[in-house]
Amino acid sequence: MNSRLAQYQEASKVFVDGEKLDDDVIGIIVSGSTVHGRPDQNSDVDIHVILSPDCDYRERRNTWINGIEIETFKNPPAQIRAYFEREKARPHTAHMLAYGNIAYSNSPIVEELVATAKALIAEVPPALQADQMEFEKYFIDDYFKDFEDALYNKDRLGASLIRHKIVNRCIDIFCKAHRVRRGKDKRLAEQLSGIDADFAEGIQTAMREAWNQVSAITALRVATEELLGGRRSLEWTMRSGLDLLEGH
């Protein structure tokens, strides 16, 4: 075990040993780089503290132990279940519980929540529907028009910012098309390369391209639009049901 990982694990243990003495606490789950064995220079320790069902509060806090940053999320079970429902598109809370280690538990509720989290993470994201594909085509097309205008006006800042928007949207579309959840940016190159090395290289090439060059960003656009079935048509109509606020 490397010394950095040992420091993170020791800081986690110190925190858990103190936190489990709180009568409100029924479970503690340690997640993040400490569990996966890959702490980076600025990694912190993510710890989810599960409170008793009787608790009517939640808490988020940062603290430091032996020079290691500890970020904590405290929630009773009802709040955690609400996060599971609310975060289905990007299941942050479920990810923490599913991939974390149970460091302390004095209630079967803790294991039940972890099992639910693992089931949610195991669900494959839904396939893009036809209307969603059209929206994605629209956004790519709209961003590209703005990008071309910025180039025409020799607006270096605008062109650079819009280029990043295009790349970011292309990554989102790629993940949706392949029905995977987008990972953290600092590990994104590894994730994309594992699915499609050519697309991953296209992303990196488009990011390295000079602000006023268009060959790589255009190639990325074409590759992304192919995932959506091709370029959007010049004229289109889409009808859907109403989306009204409840009570209106």
pLDDT of residue 37: 57
pLDDT of residue 66: 87
- List the strands of the sheet with 45-51, edge to edge: 59-65, 68-75, 45-51, 25-31, 101-105
Domain 3-122 is classified in which CATH homologous superfamily? Beta Polymerase, domain 2 (3.30.460.10)
> Where do the structural domains in the chain lie, given as residue ranges?
3-122, 130-227
Determine the 3-state secondary structure of 198 from DSSP.
Answer: helix
* Cβ(166)–Cβ(145) below 8 Å: no
pLDDT tens-digit profile, the chain (248 residues): 568 788 888 999 999 999 999 999 999 999 876 666 565 666 778 999 999 999 999 999 999 998 889 999 999 999 999 999 999 878 999 999 999 999 999 999 999 999 999 999 999 999 999 889 999 999 999 999 999 999 999 999 999 999 999 999 999 999 999 999 998 888 899 999 999 999 999 999 999 999 999 999 999 999 999 999 998 877 777 777 787 866 55
Q: Which amino acid, 192?
A: L
Distance CA 246, CA 48 (A): 33
Distance CA 212, CA 154 (A): 8
pLDDT of residue 233: 76
- pTM reported for the whole predicted model: 0.77
pLDDT of residue 32: 75
pLDDT of residue 42: 62
- CA-CA-CA-CA torsion sign (138, 143, 147, 153): positive
